[in-house]
Structure 1
Amino acid sequence: MLAITPTVRNLLILNILFYFIDSSVFSLKGQFALMPVMSPEFHIFQFVSYMFLHGGIGHLFSNMFGLIMFGPLLERVWGPKRFLIFYFVTGIGAGMLFSGIGLYENWQVAQAVELFTQNPTPDGLADFLSKHAEPLYEPNLGFLNSFEGNPTNSVYIQQSIKLVQGYYAWSISIPMVGASGAIFGILMAFGLLFPNTELFLLFVPFPIKAKYFVAFYGLFELYSGIQNAQSDNVAHFAHVGGMLFAYILLRYWGTQKSNFY
Structure 2
Amino acid sequence: MTIIIIALTVLISWQAFNNPALKAQLLFVPAAVKERGEYHRFLTHGFIHADFQHLLFNMYALYIFGGSVEYVFSEYLFGPTVGKVAYLLFYLVAIVAASVPDFLRHQDNRMYASLGASGGVAAIIWPYVMLDPWNWFIFPPLPAILLGVGYIAYSSYADKRGEGNIGHNAHLWGAVFGLVAYSVLVLAFEPALMQYFLQELMTPRGPNF
Per the TM superposition, whether the score is higher than 0.5 is yes
Give the paired residue count. 183
Q: Report what 1:238 is aligned to.
A: 170
Q: How does 1:125-140 map onto structure 2 within 5 Å?
A: none
Matched residue type, 2:65: F
Q: 2:103 aligns with which of 99, 102, 105?
A: 99
Cα displacement string for residues 92-138 of structure 1 (whole angstroms, at most 9, x for unaligned residues): 111112222324xx4xxxxxxxxxxxxxxxxxxxxxxxxxxxxxxxx
**1: CA distance between counterparts of 2:35 and 2:184?**
35
Q: Does residue 90 of the first structure (1) align with residue 24 of the second (2)?
A: no
Cα displacement string for residues 200-220 of structure 1 (whole angstroms, at most 9, x for unaligned residues): 10xx4xx32100011112100
**2: CA distance between counterparts of 1:244 and 1:238?**
10
Q: Report what 1:247 is aligned to.
A: 179
**2: CA distance between counterparts of 1:101 and 1:193?**
34
Q: Does residue 23 of the first structure (1) align with residue 27 of the second (2)?
A: no
TM-score normalised by structure 1 residue count: 0.65
TM-aligned CA deviation for residue 74 of structure 1: 0.8
TM-aligned CA deviation for residue 236 of structure 1: 0.6
**2: CA distance between counterparts of 1:93 and 1:184?**
11
Matched residue type, 1:94: A
Q: Is the 8 A contact 1:35 1:41 kept in 2?
A: no
TM-score normalised by structure 2 residue count: 0.80
* Distance 1:179-1:83 versus aligned 2 partners, 3 A rule: same
Q: More relative contact order in 1 or in 2 (CA 8 Å, sep 6+)?
A: 1
Runs of 4+ in structure 1 deviating by more than 3 angstroms, as ranges, are 37-42, 258-261
TM-aligned CA deviation for residue 197 of structure 1: 1.1
Q: How does 1:127-206 map onto structure 2 within 5 Å?
A: 171-201=109-139, 204=140
- RMSD of aligned Cα (Å): 2.1
TM-aligned CA deviation for residue 190 of structure 1: 1.3
Cα displacement string for residues 125-171 of structure 1 (whole angstroms, at most 9, x for unaligned residues): xxxxxxxxxxxxxxxxxxxxxxxxxxxxxxxxxxxxxxxxxxxxxx4
**2: CA distance between counterparts of 1:54 and 1:40?**
24
* Distance 1:258-1:194 versus aligned 2 partners, 3 A rule: closer
TM-aligned CA deviation for residue 175 of structure 1: 1.4
**2: CA distance between counterparts of 1:10 and 1:193?**
23
**2: CA distance between counterparts of 1:91 and 1:219?**
19
| Structure 1 unmatched runs, 5+ | 1-6, 107-170
| Structure 2 unmatched runs, 5+ | 75-83, 194-209
**2: CA distance between counterparts of 1:27 and 1:197?**
43
Q: Report what 1:74 is aligned to.
A: 69
Matched residue type, 1:59: H
* Distance 1:42-1:34 versus aligned 2 partners, 3 A rule: farther
Q: Is the 8 A contact 1:53 1:177 kept in 2?
A: yes
Q: Which has the larger radius of gyration?
A: 1
Q: Report what 2:145 is aligned to.
A: 211
Aligned-pair identity in percent equals 22
Q: Report what 1:223 is aligned to.
A: 157
Matched residue type, 1:15: T
Q: Is the 8 A contact 1:253 1:260 kept in 2?
A: no
Cα displacement string for residues 28-68 of structure 1 (whole angstroms, at most 9, x for unaligned residues): 22111110236646611111111101010011000001011
